Amino acid sequence: MKHIVVPVMIAISGAFMAFAWLGHLRIKHYGFWVALGLSWMVVLPEYVLNVFATRYGHGTFTGAQMAAMHLASGVVFVLLVSRYVLGEPFSLRQGLGFALLLFGSVLILGGRN
C-alpha cells in the first residue's frame, strides 16, 4: 500500500508547492506581503503532507527516491501551473530541460543502491 500512497501524497505535495511558488504571480495587484502570506498559507499544508509522506514512506523508499519523486512531481506541476495558471507559452527548450530533469529522477527511482 505504501508503494501507492506515498507517491500520491508526494505528488499532491508537489502540486501545492508549484502553486505556492508561481500562483501568487497571478495576483500582481497585491503587495509583496500579501503574496508572501498567501504563498505560506498554501505551503504550510504542503509541508505537513510532505513531511508525513517522507516519514511514512522511509524504509519502503530511500530518502533519495522520495526526494526524486518530489522533484519530478514538482517539475510536472511547475510546467502545468506556468502554462495553465499563468498562461505562459511552453517551448521546446523548456520541454527538453524538463525531460532531462525527469530522466534524472527516473534514474534515482530505479533501485535502492
Residue that wins the pLDDT comparison between 20 and 109: 20
- What's the pTM? 0.84
Which range has highest mean pLDDT (52-61, 64-73, 89-98)? 52-61
Sign of the CA dihedral running 41, 74, 11, 93: positive
AA letter at 47: Y
